[in-house]
Copies of this chain bind each other. A is one copy, B any other.
Amino acid sequence: MEDNAIMTFDIQTPSLATAQRSLGPGNPTYPLLPAQLSGCPKTSSETMQFPLEVAYDYASATDVSFARGTHWQDWQAILPPRHPRATMPVGGTPLVDVSSVAPPRFREQKVFIKDESRNPTWSHKDRLNTFTISAALYEGATTIIVASSGNHGISAAAMASRAGLDCIVLTMPEVSPVVRDMILGYGAYPVFLPADARWPAMRALKELPGTYPVSNLTPVHTGHPWGPEGYKTMAYEILADLDGATPAAVVVPTGYGEMLYGIYKGFNEARLLGRIDRIPQLVSVEPAARGPLHHALRANTPATTVEAGPTIQSGTAVTVNGYRAVIAIRDSNGIPLLVTDDAARAAHAVLARQGLWQEYSSSAAFAALDDIMAFDADGPVVVIGCSTGLKEPAEPRPAAATKPDLASLRHYLKTEFGFDI
């Protein structure tokens, strides 16, 4: 982008968005665009980078309602402007009742999975990309750049292509074949680089004319300021679906915490607007082998870096947290939890028998309920199910379970029904 300071943006939407607001000390503000893609310039240092969020003229948002039947169309005033070329229908995902398999102490207040696998590319990331792609379009970008080997890259590839943008996905040689095929199929350009070459490549690419990064550029995660605005629609949808009830808690698989913060912000806005009188407790769920947010909160620091311990929870397998997540947990009297892969695996099986085939990171979020005795308030518990398990490689299964045949059917019928065929 050349001379961003004097760029003007042709935005025609009913959005009441006014500015980018830093989450760093003093909360300095910046114009709504260009997006501050490397965190807050005024408050960040070499060791700590602070993210930004979108601020709104909430006083004018008198008509916004989260009543049953409301949807994105009704919330435009408190969403970023959506570019006319960002046309993919996103969200509107249902709450699926899983109370019967939740820990008994929570069954009466109801436990739901919010099934984000029902998005266009079958993950929550489509919400984020709706607004990062919008920002890119307003800023005149021609080529999206994203570093990802999973849902984020898949979603960015699809949404960019649909909006008529090129897309380069910086990924790893060992990316799963299904992710590779989708990146290619959606018309994006995957580049296979070792992990330590991805960030230099990203920084080089972003200097090219027309390129626009939609994933993070800073050592401590900051991300795109408009991204969490997509996630906050999850809070609004939950309020609409619960028709007036405020959840006791929302349990969120947490990597960099953009979704965690978005959901927190959505509820907080509903409270600011007087539509609810408290916000739910946010529960962050990270893999036990990593968990930078958990460690940052314990150490009372804005961010920590952890070792890249092995985990099957690929959707949340990060080594550094973002500051947004710290705020979401701190300001909601939230609960930062770690979950082992074994617990995630067991929960995956439990959810599958409820008809929900989720990523392990989301199964982990359901498993986290086992470690919570009670929440501060009454009300339903919502666990975020981020993505279809179809994109994750199946783990090896015992041979006996994978090859039942007519002989074992006979055995089954004999033992279950006393029947010979």
- Show the binding face of A for B, using Cβ within 8 Å: 69, 87-89, 92, 94-97, 115, 117-122, 158-159, 161-162, 168, 173, 177-178, 180-182, 184-187, 189-193, 197, 201, 204-205, 208-210, 348-349, 352-357, 388-391, 394, 397, 401-406, 408-409, 412-413, 417, 419, 421
Contact = CB atoms under 8 A, between A and B. Distances in A.
Per assembly, the copies of the chain total: 2
Contact of A118 (B119, B161, B205, B412): B119
A394 B187 contact: no
Contacts of A388: 122, 388, 390
A129 to B, nearest CB: 10
Contact of A87 (B97, B115, B187, B192): B97
A49 to B, nearest CB: 24
B409 A161 contact: no
Given A209-B417, A353-B187, A355-B121, A405 B192 contact: yes
A199 to B, nearest CB: 13
Nearest to A390: B390
A203 to B, nearest CB: 10
Contacts of A412: 189
A127 to B, nearest CB: 14
A174 to B, nearest CB: 12
A55 to B, nearest CB: 30
Contacts of A204: 421
A130 to B, nearest CB: 11
A397 B355 contact: no
A353 B189 contact: no
A187 B352 contact: yes
B94 A92 contact: yes
Given A189-B404, A204-B421, 14 more contacts: A89-B95, A89-B115, A161-B355, A162-B353, A162-B355, A168-B409, A180-B402, A184-B401, A185-B352, A189-B412, A191-B408, A192-B403, A205-B413, A208-B413
Interface centre among A95, A121, A210 (most CB of B within 10 A): A121
Contacts of A92: 92, 94
A402 B158 contact: no
B201 A406 contact: yes
Contact of A162 (B95, B205, B354, B406): B354
21 contacts: A88-B355, A89-B115, A92-B92, A122-B390, A158-B352, A161-B353, A161-B354, A177-B394, A178-B390, A178-B394, A184-B401, A185-B349, A187-B349, A191-B406, A192-B403, A197-B406, A201-B409, A204-B421, A205-B413, A209-B417, A388-B388
